[in-house]
Amino acid sequence: MLRIRFSVVLALLAMASAVVPARAQDQNSAQSGTSSDSQSSPLKRRLSDKEIRQQQKELRQELKGAYKKWLDQDVRWIITDQERKTFMSLSNDEERDAFIEQFWRRRNPDPQSPDNSYREEIYRRIAYANEHFAAGKPGWMTDRGHMYIAWGPPNSIEAHPSGGTYNRPMAEGGGETETYPFEVWNYRHLDGIGDNIDIEFVDSCMCGDYHMTINRAEKDALLHVPGGGPTLWEQMGQAKKADRFNGGLEQLGPGPLSSAQGSKEFDRLTQYAKLQAAPLIKFKDLDEFITSHKVLTGPFFPFDVRTDFVRVTDDTVLVPVTLQIRNRDITYKTTDGVSRGVVNILGRVSTITGRIAQTFEDTVEVDEPSELLPGTMKSKSVYWKALPLRPGRYRLDIVIKDVNNPDHIGTYARALTVPEYDDDRLAASSLILADKMREVPSKDIGTGQFVIGNTFIRPRVSGTAAQPVSFKRGQNLDFWMQVYNLKIDPKTRKNDAIVHYQVTDLANNKTLLETSEAAGKINPNSDQVTLEKSMPLAGLQPGKYQITISVNDGVSKQQLAQSAPFEVTQ
């Protein structure tokens, strides 16, 4: 018992001797203003890169509930990589809530409105995708759901839900084959990607899961069947089926258009990559010049605007908006002997109550070798955007920015009255004077800049409404107009109207040219005719003139006339 007590005493003495120096050390540390504990605290020392990555990984694992669903489902196809990275770095729910609010606000077409039509449209698209594209997984996860949510409904769909016999177009080699179910979605225009975009989806598993492909041969069910589904050249003995597998993006095989298709492979890959990325958020820096009418701080960037009206349906009018910018007003930067000027354009059409009806944003680029730049500075750049609108009163706002000179901003704001075309009243579109006009190929009808129907027509733009458009004597005066609601004679089943053309010298009001034609010779059985004429100006002396087109309907006894002034220079 004595030995045990003696051992306990020794142990207590040892502990006491250890405590005294430690307390002394703490006092010394306190006097010197440092703490040994703080030097080794993991909460106060700088983290290594490896530890930071580990923390971010743990945060991703911890992100759950509504925030995880919002990031992984709701905005999966529309959030940019930078935005996703930023959201993952947030540390609390308050920051996440603020981020989500700002995320939708940046995409709101009308930032001043409490309602966000873009957010509502995205959730509508998600619901639609889940209802129509589900295939063993939610519709939003499928490729068709991805494209629909990110880019909206296509303008047209070529659907082959059962596959079957398929006559290849010449661009795919021609010939007949059997296919899996497939669809081709067409978008007339996608911002940041281009015009006339085709997206092909193939259900090669026959399970309803259509996947996106850039290989148009993938839908061919007989692709790997020897001798099955030969192309046109294979039928003619000018190619073998084995030639299809000699490399390349697609297994279409040699054909009449194979060389042209091969040159477009890079374009197809580029388009595919752009479609996979989130839609661009462009020119938000220009938005405040429209929404808050921000005061310009730099020199004004001048440009001219022209609006026209073309009837599409009973309640829809196509409103082509044409912008003209003098190249000498653009700032250029020269790299490797090439001078480049870049202009960003943001436009918005709103109703008189402030609701956004249409928006458009695009970029105009002028590229020229440096030695040719002085000549380019004497010409003008023209941009064109066609907006479908209902008849009514609107406000048109446009802002342009000289990218190489950020303080060089131009603004435009005007009232816009879209006419209503009454079925019982003879009417006409705008009379457009142009410097270029031609018929477009069938594949380009209704698409691209300066295209109305099957006609490419580039309008001339004047500085003001009172100022006539200008042409040189060596040019042609091209003019275009449509006439609507011609009455059809119940006996002949034809229209009976006379179209009268007149060119007048405004200096003395003398008629220089006068001619007429029957509308029945243009389109006899239709209540609508399109007038397209071209007149050389070499015979006119420099001066100001006016062209007038009059229409006299012999059935309804109605008349109309459209006039447009123009100027001829040397």
How does pLDDT run across 153-195, given as a tens digit for each residue?
Answer: 999 999 999 999 999 998 888 999 999 999 999 998 888 788 8
**Residue-level pLDDT at 359:** 81
User: Which of 43-47, 367-371, 372-376 bottoms out in mean pLDDT, i.e. has the lowest?
Assistant: 43-47
Per-residue pLDDT for 315 more than 90? no
pLDDT band at 56 (very low <50, low <70, confident <90, very high): low
Task: Note whether 282-421 and 424-570 share their fold.
Answer: yes
**Residue-level pLDDT at 496:** 94
For residues 207 and 205, give the distance between their C-alpha atoms in angstroms, rounded to a whole number. 5
**Start-end of H helices in 212-335:** 232-235, 258-262, 265-276, 284-291
Looking at residues 3-12, what average pLDDT do you find? 40
Looking at residues 302-319, what average pLDDT do you find? 93
How does pLDDT run across 226-282, given as a tens digit for each residue?
Answer: 989 999 889 998 888 988 887 778 888 777 776 666 567 788 888 999 999 998 776
Per-residue pLDDT for 398 more than 70? yes
Residue partners of 377: CB distance under 8 A and separation at least 6: 327, 328
**Residue-level pLDDT at 35:** 43
Out of 131-135, 171-175, 438-442, give the one with best mean pLDDT.
131-135
**Residue-level pLDDT at 45:** 61
For residues 425 and 116, give the distance between their C-alpha atoms in angstroms, rounded to a whole number. 39
**Residue-level pLDDT at 6:** 37
Looking at residues 311-330, what average pLDDT do you find? 93
CA angle 396, 398, 402 (to 5 degrees): 175
Which of the following CATH numbers is that of domain 424-570: 2.60.40.2550, 3.40.50.2000, 3.40.50.10490, 3.30.1490.20? 2.60.40.2550
Q: How far is CA 308 from CA 28, 199, 433, in A?
A: 86, 32, 11
Residue partners of 468: CB distance under 8 A and separation at least 6: 462, 544, 545, 564, 565, 566, 567
pLDDT band at 21 (very low <50, low <70, confident <90, very high): very low
pLDDT band at 112 (very low <50, low <70, confident <90, very high): low
Average pLDDT, rounded, for the chain: 86
pLDDT band at 507 (very low <50, low <70, confident <90, very high): very high
Per-residue pLDDT for 8 more than 80? no
Q: What is the 3-state secondary structure (H, E, C) of 434-454?
A: EEEEEECCHHHCCCCCCEECC
Between 67 and 106, the more confident residue is 67
Whether 349 contacts 388, CB under 8 Å: no
How does pLDDT run across 72-97, given as a tens digit for each residue?
Answer: 999 999 998 878 888 887 878 888 88
Q: Which CATH superfamily is domain 282-421 in?
A: Immunoglobulins (2.60.40.10)
**Residue-level pLDDT at 23:** 41
Per-residue pLDDT for 24 more than 50? no
**Residue-level pLDDT at 77:** 96
Domain boundaries, the chain: 53-71+81-106, 154-276, 282-421, 424-570
Strand partners of residue 195 = 189
Helix (H) / strand (E) element for 99: namely helix 93-107
Looking at residues 128-134, what average pLDDT do you find? 97
For residues 283 and 344, give the distance between their C-alpha atoms in angstroms, rounded to a whole number. 7
Torsional class of 395: left (φ above 0), alpha (ψ -120 to 50), beta (otherwise): beta
Looking at residues 12-18, what average pLDDT do you find? 41
Q: Would you give the end-to-end CA distance of the chain in angstroms?
A: 129
Question: How many other C-beta atoms can be found within 10 angstroms of the C-beta atom of residue 79?
Answer: 17
Q: Is the pTM of this model over 0.95?
A: no
Q: How far is CA 171 from CA 238, 264, 301, 357, 557, in A?
A: 16, 12, 45, 39, 51
Percent of the chain topping pLDDT 90: 59
**Residue-level pLDDT at 255:** 76
